[in-house]
Each structure stands twice: as C-alpha cells, then as structure tokens.
C-alpha cells in the first residue's frame, strides 16, 4: 500500500488534494505537512506534521521513518510575491525541489514524485494563443524562471537517475476552500470573495486580460489521473501543458452579475498586469489528453454558481441576488 507525503498541505492545491488522496489511499496513508498549521479537516483527518522542505535532514528522516512511497511537493512562492523578493523566492522554489529530487534518488522506497510547474514557464516570445507543449520559453518573472529551471531538473533526474517525477503546468486555479496567496491569477478567486462580501471588487488586471483558468476539482482530478497513469504511457518528463478556459476579468464579472445583480468592478492594473501580459491566453493540452486522458468538466457558469454558493456558506452570508 502506498504511503503519501504532501508538502504544502495548507496551501490552495494541497488543502484539497490531501482530502481527495485520503479518500483513495486511506486517511492513515496520507501524511500532510506544511510550515504552518492547516485547516482542521486536514490536521484532524489524518497524520499532520509541521515540516519545512528546506530542512533536508528532517525531510529525509521523516520519509524513511514513515516509509513514504510517493511525494507531492507543492510548496512554492507564487509569481506576484516572488517579484517582491526575487532571491528568496528562487532559493525556496529551487532548493525545495532539489531536496525532494535528491531524497527520491537516495531512498529506494520513494517510487513517484509530483511537482507543480506553471504556465509561468512561458514568456513574451511564446505564442500566446493555443500555446504548444513544445515552444519558445523565455520567462521574464523569477517565478517563471524557477519553474522552467525546475522542469529541466525534473527531466534531468528522470533521464540520469530514472526518477519517476511527474509535473503539470497549472493554469490559474479557481477554488473556494483555501484562498490563493501571491499569484497573478489570484484575482479569479478574490473577485468571488469580494462579490459575496462587499458587492464590489477592484481588479489588479485590466478588463480584457485573458488567462487560462481551471476549477480546482478539475485540477485535482487531473493531478491524480496523471499520477495514476502507467509510467510507460508518459512521453513528457519535464511538465505537461494543462489548459482550461481562456477567461477575462470582465467575463467573470458578467457571470457573477447573473447571481449578484449590481456587483461592481473597477480596474486598477498593477505590476501583475505586466506579468499576465507575458503569459499565454490559451493552452494546447492535446499531449496531456493523448498521454493520460486530460479533460475538464466545469465551465464559467457552473464554476460561478458553485463559488458563490460555497463562499456564501463559508462567510455565513445569505442575502444574494
Ligand atoms: C500564479 O499566478 O502565480 C499561479 C500560477 C499561474 O502558477 N497561480
């Protein structure tokens, strides 16, 4: 039976992935860790421990002691925050990954590693529409540079040491459980919270900035599907493209107005606008569809309905529409 370690279990992806993996592998087999406390359901629903991926000695000790066979390393500094402290972000994003790759090389019991890449690996010279799996990659953010370097390291460890490391280039993720922190696509979560809380939102991206976005349940399913696919079927050992819908702030505003008439938005683009303009607007994920059956279910209408309902419940606000 697999024993799974999640690093970054308190984060936007980790908090939902932990719950799904516990359903599949059993609560006691999924070890959630983070540098901070997670939500009660993560900490009480199975083993939880404070653990810093930068502490390589404790990390290896933990992995050996708990006979870990799969690692999901999700901890990272996202694009917006990384621009504020570039060297610190580089250090955290790269050294964390290198610690994991080294452990996977040293400990035979570790059979598989998952590490998230991002659409941030692309840059201003990349074709922005239907961005191919293999294309020009000249990222201009420190986050994008760290993700691209990480992809190259993953492929290197695969080729040189036969490490089974799998990765996805996530688009922006929309979720209600845990708010994202410090990313450029965070507006697509904040907009729903502010619509429910205050009926108005100031977007840091301009009205028609299109970016690929995906609902968290689709992203979680895709991640687990990739990890469960036969190794022999995988042809990409850097990171797989994963798209979703190409959506603008104005389109989300319109969709929310159907549920919260009078919801107001204004646009005050900041430094994240510059980042967004270097990223793809839509992604060609046909290689993921071919190799491991990637597809997504939720469209903007269904996402909006669920987001408003769940955030209203969470914030205990009932007066909608
Ligand atoms: C970010 O905006 O930094 C992230 C990402 C697209 O990787 N959500």
- Which domains are seen in the chain, by residue range? 4-172+214-241 (3.40.50.720), 174-213+244-282+298-315 (3.90.25)
Q: With a 6 A CB cut-off, is 78 part of the ligand 1 pocket?
A: yes
The whole-number pLDDT of residue 180 equals 75
The whole-number pLDDT of residue 181 equals 87
Q: With a 6 A CB cut-off, is 120 part of the ligand 1 pocket?
A: yes
d(CA 304, CA 312): 12
How does DSSP classify residue 176? Answer: S
Pocket test for ligand 1, best of 79, 84, 210, 216 (most atoms within 8 A of CB): 79
d(CA 246, CA 172): 10
| CA atoms in the 13 A half-sphere facing the CB of 253 | 20
Q: With a 6 A CB cut-off, is 93 part of the ligand 1 pocket?
A: no
Strand 30-34, strand 200-203: pairing: unpaired
Active site residues: 143
d(CA 141, CA 146): 9
The whole-number pLDDT of residue 321 equals 47
- The closest alpha carbon to 100, from 81, 116, 122, belongs to 116
Scanning the structure block, which residue is given the tokens 């205050």?
198
Q: Any idea of the CA torsion for 291, 95, 175, 251, to the nearest 10 degrees?
A: -80
d(CA 101, CA 191): 37
Number of H helices, E strands in the chain: 12, 14
- The closest alpha carbon to 35, from 69, 2, 82, 74, belongs to 74
The whole-number pLDDT of residue 204 equals 98
The whole-number pLDDT of residue 72 equals 98
The whole-number pLDDT of residue 187 equals 98
d(CA 308, CA 206): 22
The whole-number pLDDT of residue 174 equals 98
Please list the rounded mean pLDDT of every run of 10 residues in the chain (321 residues).
97 97 98 97 98 98 98 98 98 98 98 98 98 98 98 98 98 93 96 97 98 98 98 98 97 98 98 98 98 98 98 81 47
| CA atoms in the 13 A half-sphere facing the CB of 32 | 30
The whole-number pLDDT of residue 320 equals 52
């Amino acid at each position: 039976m697999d024993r799974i370690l999640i690093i970054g279990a308190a984060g936007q992806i980790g908090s939902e992935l932990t719950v799904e993996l516990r359903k599949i592998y059993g609560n006691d087999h999924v070890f959630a860790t983070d540098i901070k406390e997670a939500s009660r359901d993560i900490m009480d629903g199975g083993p939880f421990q404070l653990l810093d991926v930068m502490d390589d000695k404790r990390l290896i000790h933990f992995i050996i002691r708990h006979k870990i066979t799969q690692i999901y390393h999700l901890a990272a500094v996202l694009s917006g925050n990384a621009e504020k402290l570039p060297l610190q972000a580089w250090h955290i994003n790269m050294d964390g990954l290198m610690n994991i790759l080294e452990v996977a090389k040293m400990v035979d019991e570790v059979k598989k590693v998952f590490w998230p890449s991002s659409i941030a690996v692309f840059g201003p010279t990349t074709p922005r529409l239907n961005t191919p799996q293999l294309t020009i990659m000249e990222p201009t953010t420190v986050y994008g540079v760290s993700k691209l370097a990480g992809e190259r390291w993953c492929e290197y460890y695969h080729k040189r040491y036969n490490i089974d490391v799998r990765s996805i280039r996530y688009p922006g993720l929309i979720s209600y459980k845990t708010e994202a922190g410090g990313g450029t696509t965070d507006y697509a979560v904040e907009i729903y919270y502010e619509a429910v809380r205050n009926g108005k939102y100031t977007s840091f991206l301009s009205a028609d900035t299109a970016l690929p976005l995906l609902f968290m349940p689709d992203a979680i399913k895709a991640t687990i599907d990739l990890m469960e696919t036969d190794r022999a079927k995988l042809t990409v050992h850097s990171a797989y493209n994963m798209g979703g819908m190409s959506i603008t702030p104005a389109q989300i505003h319109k969709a929310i107005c159907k549920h919260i008439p009078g919801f107001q938005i204004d646009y005050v683009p900041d430094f994240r606008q510059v980042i967004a303009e270097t990223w793809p607007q839509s992604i060609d994920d046909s290689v993921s569809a071919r190799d491991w059956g990637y597809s997504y279910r939720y469209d903007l209408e269904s996402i909006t309905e669920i987001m408003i309902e769940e955030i209203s419940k969470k914030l205990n606000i009932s007066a909608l529409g």
